[in-house]
Amino acid sequence: MATKKAKAPAVDQVALLKAAGLTDEQIKALVPATPAPAPVAPTPVPEPPKAVVSGSGNPGVVPALASVGIGAGKAMLGAGKFAALGATPVTKSKSKTPEVQIPALASVIAEFLKQTAAQKAAERLADEAKASVAAKAEPERVALSRKLGELQESLYVNGAVTYVQPHGYKNIALEKGQELAILFGDDNFNAFFEVRNEVKVSDEESFSAILDDVVAICKAKGLDPAKLFSVKQVLSPTRALTTARVMKEDIAALFAKASSEGLITSKAPTVKEK
């Protein structure tokens, strides 16, 4: 059986020549230079496909993200990471009304803005004047009502405007009844306030007139009225309170206290031309 000879180790000619005392220039002349290896071209990385998200008008990233194993729940990445993936991030488009320039309307628009500002200023001055009239006219209304022994809801002021303090209040939550009863006393409370059923209907006053009949019909047919109507119980001040808070000084003081504590809110007075 033939014995395979071991391959002799390669001889380092440069090292031997240096050991013999030759210079680098002499060695270059004797030993040919080893050619440099040819550069290896990098393997091209395929660009992930882009997609368009339906209805958005912006490039989407769902297929591209799926190709690199990123789930839809992690789609909110930085723009730099999207660029590295070769995908365009989806951005929310801000709705903006388009703007146009119509030179022919420049003076018309300027006049519109001028008149609008003037109208707002006039309304503000009218409100201030109305408040001033109410502040002066209300004490006169109270004094005149007590003098005549009869409630006066309106006054004709200076032959120019009519001041009116109408009967009417905001609905009062039922749970405030105990505070009002303590403040006014039980007898006055029963006279000044009533529990009213607030039903969501178009004509509440007409419906209240037939409410008992409606309830009776529902019960006759085995229906629960509470399941057919949205009913809320509230406290409603009566006309007796409206009269007493003007005609009686002690009730006026109690009413003022209830108003300051936010228990009662009456309708605002009106000021209008004759």
Question: For the chain, what is the radius of gyration of the CA atoms?
Answer: 47
Of 231, 242, 246, which Cα lies nearest the Cα of 200? 231
Task: State the pLDDT at residue 81.
Answer: 37
Residue-wise pLDDT tens digits, 123-141: 999 999 999 999 999 999 9
Q: For residue 183, name the pLDDT band (cuts at 50, 70, 90).
A: very high
For residues 246-253, give the mean pLDDT: 96
Residue 7, pLDDT above cutoff 60: no
Q: What percent of the chain has pLDDT over 90?
A: 50
Residue 33, pLDDT above cutoff 70: no
Neighbouring C-beta atoms of residue 1, cutoff 10 Å: 3
Higher pLDDT, 27 or 210: 210
DSSP for 24-88? HHHHHHHSPPPPPPPPPPPPPPPPPPPEE-TTT-SEE-HHHHHHTT--GGG----HHHHHHHT-P
Tokens for 201, please give them.
């209907």
Lowest mean pLDDT: which of 98-112, 136-150, 190-204? 190-204
Task: State the pLDDT at residue 197.
Answer: 77
Average pLDDT taken over every residue of the chain:
77
